[in-house]
Amino acid sequence: MLFTGRELRSMIHDNGTLSLSLQKVNIGVPADDEIVVRIEGSPLNPSDIGLLLGPADLSASAKADGDSPGLKFQILSSRRAAVVGRVGQSLIVGNEGAGTVVAAGREWSKLEGKLVGMIGGGMYADYRRIKGKDVIELPVGATAVDGASMFVNPLTALGFVETARSQGHKAIVHTAAASNLGQMLQKICLADDIPLVNIVRSLEQVEVLRGIGATHVLNSKDDSFSDALTAAIAETGATIAFDAIGGGTLGSAIVQAMEGAAVQRMKDYNRYGSTVFKQLYIYGALDTAPTTLNRLAFGFEWSVSGWLLFPFLQKAGLDVGQRLRRRVVDELTTTFASRYTRTIGLAEALDPDVLRAYERKATGEKFLIDPTRDAART
Amino acid sequence: MLFTGRELRSMIHDNGTLSLSLQKVNIGVPADDEIVVRIEGSPLNPSDIGLLLGPADLSASAKADGDSPGLKFQILSSRRAAVVGRVGQSLIVGNEGAGTVVAAGREWSKLEGKLVGMIGGGMYADYRRIKGKDVIELPVGATAVDGASMFVNPLTALGFVETARSQGHKAIVHTAAASNLGQMLQKICLADDIPLVNIVRSLEQVEVLRGIGATHVLNSKDDSFSDALTAAIAETGATIAFDAIGGGTLGSAIVQAMEGAAVQRMKDYNRYGSTVFKQLYIYGALDTAPTTLNRLAFGFEWSVSGWLLFPFLQKAGLDVGQRLRRRVVDELTTTFASRYTRTIGLAEALDPDVLRAYERKATGEKFLIDPTRDAART
């Protein structure tokens, strides 16, 4: 059987435009070690949106040439240099997803008709051909929606805890902490008995985290935020932070609070600051502004670094990766449950209003693409 | 024999002033394992100046109360929180120095009359009592001026190379590179065959480094600096930088150039940037402004950290420390020769005009304190 379906593509052109389109593609016949999955759920994670929309100026869009649904945007000129490497390439999008196996090569016939979750790109499509060994069969009772986000957020949250532990930190600070990822991290930390200091930006988000048992939840908009942060860090002993925001001064304020808490415990003045090592990892870019570090308040024992899931998994090794994946499957509908505020079809993802809505990346808002919603309409 | 001498002291007071004074102190009799050294040379390194002057506003000074030479300044109010730990403490100053052993306890009588170099604070003084095991006898022919700076700059320069090597980097970028420290680093890198990209701020400094055999010397004031930096990094393969400046965007520009050089070598576009790990160490604060990181141009494989000599030596261990010190002694008047533009007495260090001159920390200008110059006048 031959499957034909739509695939969402993003392309940056020589003339400084970015175009989104739905391409009709022939999925091909699965090889012996392959399967074909009908995608029934794929999340719009910030990293997906980054690839999908690049540095496009979303304030004005135009209908792309041709018959199929499509849009084009201007690229912000200040950011063109950063994407010169992808000019002229029609890129598939969608890191992860879940769905039903509709065809299988000889080695994987046992998967036929089963629900599986997978990672590997190109999930914003009706069908995805993929190696059988690269998918995970969903546990009994789990739906495609349950399995759609079983890799990026769960493994990132677990990766934070692994990173903290392997580097000898005993408590963690997390920003944008009411996100799906942040809620997973809070649940893991509760189960594993690791103190977590959550930083959010609204009272509503404070409530979300309190509702799942969080002890330390700070609203960065409160006047007393800075003092409360130092107090929470002093109480928990947190010396590592994971920051989804990246731009501005919040990361710096966290390191400064860690140093402040450490200096409070010192008996003698040391012009170089404390001997406590403080690590800030930036793993997101909810704020694309530059990062500003008031490092004179850090002492000299500090580090600010990028953190990304795939390099982490590579360094952690196969055994760790397998242990983490097993935990995700075991706790798929509890610790690692994701919540979506809206489900859209593939064609809907190219509606300018819908697109601008998911691009805002508001905490608490999360979109899921389910291509079967509009498949009939193509 | 009892030695009495002057000791330079720095103190921050409750009322927000910083006072400098020369205290008459009784050095005491050396214990069996101690010696007394008459200081004949002690450099004014940036780290010494930081402790000496703190965040004082140097634009206006007043004569301190009392008979002995002394000055007082207002502390910049924005920086008072950073020095609250030293309020009320009369601090000795001067990390390192050299001079003649004028008295020795039983165990160290062999050192009597010898020239020694030492580190340990309190070197801005006529005499320093210290354990015999904590000094290094200068090699034959070396003067106290040769030995005055045999610890901080030489071990820092060697520490950079050790750090780079132990982390697998094959070439180094250095800023404010025409300093005494920078010249030592260039000589080490030439001897050890490690490519070094020097960044300076004037044509005169370019000449200084060319004069000692530097290949890559870039003037950050040139219009073509950014392109030249990427080219030099691409040619050398530098992935680690040591930055004495700290504030502003130069450090960020270096990491960005490293990423640019790495991306040039990539065949396929990767939205997360290159897989090349880039490390920026900030070891100084010639610019006290915040550090601004344009991290979206770094990819995710990067780290920005503080670097400080003493924690480095502690982590490196005793064997490494001894190996590095041995090299300093062996090459004291060649690789590790320091150049001073002005020698001042202890009392002169409290002259407001002299003080403002050494506080400027201009590259190529370096002051040495020789307390014997004005000892007769006290």
Span B71-124, pLDDT tens digits: 999 998 888 877 888 899 999 999 999 999 999 999 999 999 999 999 999 999
Q: Does A308 contact B301 at a Cβ distance shorter than 8 Å?
A: yes
Best of B304, B307, B313, B315 to substitute, by most chain A Cβ atoms within 10 angstroms, is B304
Q: Between B64 and B197, where is the model more confident?
A: B197
**Which of B91, B298, B308 has the CB atom closest to A306's CB atom?**
B298
Q: Do B292 and A294 touch (CB under 8 A)?
A: no
b/e for A213-229, b at 16 or more Cβ within 10 A? ebbbbbbbeeeebeebb
Q: A292 to chain B nearest CA, in Å?
A: 5
Say which of A85, A306, A310 has its CB closest to residue B263.
Answer: A85
- Predicted confidence (pLDDT) per residue in A307-336, tens digit: 999 999 999 999 999 999 999 999 999 999
Mean pLDDT of chain A: 93
Over residues A241-266, mean pLDDT: 96
B47 contacts in chain A (CB < 8 Å) = 271
Q: Give residue A377's pLDDT band: very low, low, confident or very high (50, 70, 90).
A: very low
Interface test with B, best of A295, A302, A310, A312 (most B CBs within 10 A): A295
Predicted confidence (pLDDT) at residue B223 exceeds the cutoff of 90: yes
- How far is the C-alpha of A286 from the C-alpha of A327, rounded, in Å? 28
Structure tokens at B234: 């691409």
Task: State the angle between helix axes of A180-192 and A203-211 in degrees (0 to 180), rounded to the nearest 10.
Answer: 40
Share of chain A above pLDDT 90, in %: 83
Q: Which residues of A touch B291 (CB under 8 A)?
A: 292-293, 295
**pLDDT at B64 (0 to 100):** 72
Q: Cβ separation of B288 and A304 shorter than 8 Å?
A: no
Preferred mutation among A263, A300, A308, A312 to probe B, highest tally of B CBs within 10 A? A300
How high is the pLDDT of residue A64?
A: 72
User: DSSP character for B280?
Assistant: E
The pLDDT value recorded for residue A374 is: 81
Does the structure show a pLDDT above 60 at A378?
A: no
- Chain A residues close to B306, C-beta within 8 Å: 295, 298-303
Q: Are strands A17-26 and A4-12 parallel, antiparallel or unpaired?
A: antiparallel
Q: By CA distance, what is A295's nearest residue in B?
A: B290
* Interchain pair A295, B246: CB under 8 A: yes
Which residues in chain B are contacts of A310 at CB distance < 8 A?
272
Cβ contacts (< 8 Å) between B253 and chain A: which residues? none
**Minimum CA–CA partner of A299 in chain B:** B306
- HSE on the CB side for B140, CA within 13 Å? 0
For residue B304, the chain A residues in CB contact (below 8 A) are 293, 303-305
Q: Of the candidates B86, B292, B300, which has its C-beta nearest A269's C-beta?
A: B86
| Residue numbers in B near A288 (CB within 8 A) | 296
pLDDT tier at A295, thresholds 50, 70, 90 = very high
Q: Which of A81-85, A99-103, A247-251 has the lowest mean pLDDT?
A: A81-85
Question: Between the CA atoms of A225, A231, A233 and A234, what dihedral angle is there, to the nearest 10 degrees?
Answer: 160
Here the tokens at position A56 are 């496009």
pLDDT at A66: 67
The C-alpha of B299 sits at a distance from chain A's nearest C-alpha, in angstroms, of 8
> What is the nearest CA distance from B109 to chain A, expressed in angstroms?
34
Residue in chain B closest to A292 (alpha carbons) equals: B292
CA distance A22 to A33: 28
Q: Which residue of B has its CA nearest to A248?
A: B292
Chain A CB contacts of B49 under 8 Å are: none
> For B171, which DSSP code?
-
Single-letter code of the amino acid located at A332:
L
Reported as a single tens digit per residue, the pLDDT across B317-343 is 999 999 999 999 999 999 999 999 999
Contact criterion met (CB < 8 Å) for B307 and A293? no
Determine the Cα–Cα distance for residues B138 and B97; give it in Å rounded to an integer.
12
| Exposure class string for B251-285: b at 16+ Cβ within 10 A, else e | bbbbbbbbbbbbbeeeeebeebbbebbbbbbbbbb
Q: Which of A51, A263, A306 sits opposite B299 (nearest CB)?
A: A306
Residue A363 pLDDT:
61
CA atoms within 13 A on the CB side of A241: 33
Tell me which residue of B243, B252, B245, B241 sits closest to B292, measured CA to CA.
B252
Tokens of B123: 């070197």
Asked whether A363 and A201 are in contact (CB, 8 A), the reply is yes
Q: How confident is the model at residue B67 (pLDDT cuts 50, 70, 90)?
A: low
Give which of B227, B250, B265, B271 to mutate to test A binding, by max A Cβ within 10 Å.
B271
Per-residue model confidence (pLDDT) at position B25 = 94
Contacting residues of A for B311, CB less than 8 Å apart: 275, 300-301
| Identity at A41, one-letter amino acid code | G
- Average pLDDT value for residue range B192-213: 97
Per-residue model confidence as pLDDT tens digits over A42-82: 999 988 998 999 889 988 878 777 666 789 999 988 888 77
Chain B residues touching residue A272 (CB < 8 angstroms): 308, 310
Report the C-alpha gap between A249 and A244 in whole angstroms: 13
Question: Does the beta-carbon distance from A285 to B296 stay under 8 Å?
Answer: yes
Residue B223's contacts (CB-CB under 8 Å, 6 or more residues apart) are none
CB pairs under 8 A between A and B: 97
Summarize the confidence of residues A106-126 as an average pLDDT: 97
Q: Find the chain B residues whose C-beta atoms sit closer than 8 A to any C-beta of A.
A: 47, 50-51, 82, 85-86, 89, 91, 246, 252, 263, 266, 269-272, 275, 282, 285, 288, 290-308, 310-311
- Which comes out higher in pLDDT, residue B68 or B60? B60
Bin A16: left if φ > 0, else alpha if -120 < ψ < 50, else beta: left
Give the pLDDT of residue B66. Answer: 67
For residue A267, name the pLDDT band (cuts at 50, 70, 90). confident
Whether the pLDDT of residue A276 is over 60: the answer is yes
Query: How many percent of chain A have pLDDT more than 70?
Result: 97
Query: What confidence score (pLDDT) does residue B377 get?
Result: 47
Rounded (10°) angle between helices A180-192 and A152-166? 40
Question: What was the ipTM of the complex prediction?
Answer: 0.89
Contacts of B366 (CB under 8 A, 6+ apart): B43, B44, B180, B338, B339, B340, B341, B342
Lowest mean pLDDT among A186-195, A365-374, B203-212, B269-278: B269-278
Residues of B in contact with A51 (CB under 8 A): 271
